[in-house]
Amino acid sequence: MKELSIEAKVENIPEVTAFVDEQLEAYGCSVKAQMQIDIAIDELFSNIAHYAYHPGSGPATVRVETKEDPLSVVITFIDHGVPYDPLKKEDPDITLSAEERGIGGLGIYMVKKSMDAISYQYKDGQNILEIRKQL
């Protein structure tokens, strides 16, 4: 398991992505899966940066570990911000045009559709969001 502790700021997304990608490359992750994971990182870390400590910022931890049978990567995002479960938000109606759809929710919807599993818990004063993708 590898872990990165970093300030939850939008400008740190490239560093978080590079950290995760380094782990993925060590396991021979496909380009498609890596792109899907990179998009998920962008969405999830961006949400932490914008909302967890609003209006300020605070620490975030990104943990990367692999599991066997089947070979998959688990990426965990941890922050000490306000409790927020993005999985409770209703999925957007993608049959509507962009003008008819409400603002927000599309990013987490894309993460839910592209990952094999996603879970959230608030424990010991921490938001813990975990995504899993088979490699």
pLDDT digit string, tens, across residues 32-90? 999 999 999 999 999 999 999 988 899 999 999 999 888 899 999 999 999 999 888 77
Class of domain 2-134: alpha beta
Q: How far apart are CA 124 and CA 24, in angstroms?
A: 29
**Length of the chain (residues):** 135
Cβ-contact 122, 79 below 8 angstroms = no
pLDDT digit string, tens, across residues 98-116? 666 555 556 788 899 999 9
Instruction: List, in order, residues 6 or more apart from 43 with CB less than 8 Å away.
Output: 107, 108, 110, 111
What pTM was estimated for this model as a whole? 0.90
Which helix (DSSP H) or strand (DSSP E) does residue 63 occupy? Answer: strand 59-67
The ranges assigned to domains in the chain are 2-134
